[in-house]
Amino acid sequence: MTLTSVETVVAKAQTAQAEIETASQKTVDELITGLAWAILEPKTNRSLAEQAVRDTGLGNADDKIIKNHRKTLGLLRDLKHAPSCGIVR
């Protein structure tokens, strides 16, 4: 990545953060659920698994697909109904 592309990604991330920083718990829960389902989409999951193998040189894509699936469902289960907005006590 070039410095310009990194700066562009960071600027987009800052804009996105500003848009959701006052979001309700319901909205954040919906975003998390949508993100999880996007990761579980077979084409996306395979792409992420193959990229992980390329970047790390560890494991194989087929095993990482299974791991992504199990870990994403587990994380989604753990985050369901967990407070994550405002002051969390």
Judge contact between 64 and 45, C-beta under 8 A: no
Distance of CA 79 to the CA centre of its chain: 13
pLDDT in tens, 57-70: 999 999 999 999 99
Judge contact between 36 and 76, C-beta under 8 A: yes
In this predicted structure, what is the pLDDT of residue 53?
98
State pTM to two decimals: 0.74
Distance CA 17, CA 31 (A): 12
pLDDT in tens, 34-46: 999 999 999 999 9
In this predicted structure, what is the pLDDT of residue 4?
86
- Kindly provide the b/e burial profile for residues 10-25, where b requires at least 16 CB atoms within 10 angstroms of the residue's own CB: eeeeeeeeeeeeeeee
pLDDT in tens, 9-19: 999 999 999 99
Residue 85 clears pLDDT 90, i.e. is over it = no
Q: Where are the domains of the chain?
A: 23-89
